[in-house]
Amino acid sequence: MKIVVTGGAGFIGSHFIRYLLKKYPDCQILNIDRLTYAGNIHNLDDVSSDRRYCFVQEDICHQKEMTTLLRDWDILVNFAAETHVDRSLVNPEAFIRTDVLGVFSLLRSAYQCKLRKFIQISTDEVYGSVSQGRLKETRLLSPSNPYAASKAAADLLALSYWKSYGLPVCIVRSTNNFGPFQHPEKMIPLFITNALLNKKLPVYGEGKQIRQWLFVEDHCGAIDLILQKGENGQVYHVSPERGYRNLTVARKILRLLGKPDSLMEFVKDRAGHDYRYSLNCQKIKALGWKPRHSFNSAFAKTVQWYKENTGWWQPIREGDFQEYYRQQYG
């Protein structure tokens, strides 16, 4: 299997590369990543000398370069994106550039290079807030923020490349992921690292928002399954289907670290904050997927990882992150 992973130096992409190397002895992987503030090549230190793996620093928006790079490869899985909703509210341009125009550039290159599979990694956020029930893949898209809107646009573009040009595209829409190597600006690592530093955990609004947290390794298994068995032109949901309030998640972190609930601080809610996301996963279950990890054990494992790997997250928190944090939470 010759597979290009774009955005492989980020959180989920780096786990996916490690997953492939472990599962497929004869795979070849090219990781293409621009290394934005969110990309961290040290996420892959343990596999960097593996002869089946190579890395190129490049921007997915550079279509000419991408076409050159994609020649002689079979499959592309695109994780590359601007991903933080809060940043999209302040600087939406960066999201339109990478998440829409970057995907457009990849689709054109993939078509020119006749790739045999293009997997676009999307998100449950494209549907906006879900008041009741679990949504199927056919639900109308109704994104609430520029990040979600840019991802929705990319999904539609990708599907149009299947319908118009026959590019073999699948879309994977998962719920929020958690696990090791997630940037400390995202809620779970932010709360864990703040708690470890005895800083307040900034909980948006009243903390009542509901998310179906997916362990990152279960997401990787689902992407692999879609790669093997997914039907072209189809969208697949990936979620453990059980939701938790943000407040519950914050409390769990404090319990696991032996810290008091008084470390929680309720802050002004995010603009356009979706109350609840909820996906129906019958379609991927019919392919044979189910999560292999229970939420509680994967969550405890994740908290423990941040506790033991301060050398990974402290340099990130000490860099540009400080200015971001000050602007965001005061």
Strands (E), 242-327: 244-245, 264-267
Residue 169 in contact with ligand NAD, rule: CB under 6 A: no
Residue 61 binds to ligand NAD (criterion: CB under 6 A): yes
Q: What is the phi-psi region of residue 75: left when phi exceeds 0, alpha when psi lies from -120 to 50, beta otherwise? A: beta
Q: Could you give the CA distance from residue 163 to residue 155 in angstroms, rounded to a whole number?
A: 12
Binding span for ligand NAD by CB under 6 A among 34-42, 45-53, 132-140, 276-284: 34-42
80 binds ligand NAD (CB under 6 A): yes
Among 17, 30, 38, 103, binds ligand NAD (CB under 6 A): 38
Burial class from Cβ neighbours inside 10 Å (0-12, 13-18, 19+) for residue 1 reads middle
Respond yes or no: is residue 125 known to be catalytic: yes
Binding part of the chain for ligand NAD, among 19-27, 36-44, 243-251, 294-302 by CB under 6 A, reads: 36-44
Contact status: 39 vs ligand NAD (CB under 6 A): yes
Shortest CB 270 distance to ligand NAD, Å: 15
Report which of 59, 42, 9 is spatially closest to residue 17, judged by C-alpha positions.
9
Least distance from ligand NAD to the Cβ atom of residue 10, Å: 2
Helix (H, G, I), strand (E, B) or coil at 172: strand
Q: Which two tokens stand for residue 13?
A: 């992409």
Token output for 213: 């947290």
212 φ/ψ angles, rounded to the nearest 5 degrees: -95, 95
Least CB distance from residue 212 to ligand NAD, whole Å? 10
* Residue whose CB is nearest to ligand NAD in the complex, by number: 10
**Rounded Cα distance, 109 and 271, in Å:** 36
Residue 83 is a binding residue for ligand NAD (CB under 6 A): yes
Q: Which of 18, 87, 117, 151 binds ligand NAD (CB under 6 A)?
A: 151
Is residue 176 at the binding interface for ligand NAD, with CB under 6 A as the rule? yes
193 near ligand NAD, judged by CB under 6 A: no
Q: How many Å apart are CA 186 and CA 62, to the nearest integer?
A: 28
CB atoms within 10 A of CB 225: 17
Does the footprint of ligand NAD cover residue 59 (CB under 6 A)?
yes
Distance of alpha carbon 132 from alpha carbon 242, whole angstroms: 13
Q: What tokens appear for 86 in the block? A: 């809060």
Q: Is 161 a catalytic residue?
A: no
Give me the 240-279 binding string for ligand NAD, x by CB under 6 A, dash otherwise: ----------------------------------------
Binding segment for ligand NAD (CB under 6 A), chosen from 170-178, 246-254, 269-277, 286-294, is 170-178
Measured between alpha carbons, how far is 216 from 211 in angstroms, rounded to an integer?
Answer: 14
Question: Residue for token digits 């073999």?
Answer: 168
Smallest separation (angstroms) from ligand NAD to the CB of 257: 21
- Taking every pair of Cα atoms in the chain, the longest distance, rounded to a whole number of angstroms, is 57
Binding segment toward ligand NAD, per CB under 6 A, in 48-56, 136-144, 173-181, 221-229: 173-181
Q: Is 147 among the residues known to form the active site?
A: yes
CA–CA gap between residue 254 and residue 195 (Å, rounded)? 7
Using CB under 6 A as the binding rule, whether residue 33 contacts ligand NAD is answered as yes
The catalytic residue positions are 124-125, 147
Binding site for ligand NAD (CB under 6 A): 6-7, 9-13, 33-36, 38-39, 59-61, 79-83, 98, 102, 121, 123, 151, 174, 176-177, 183
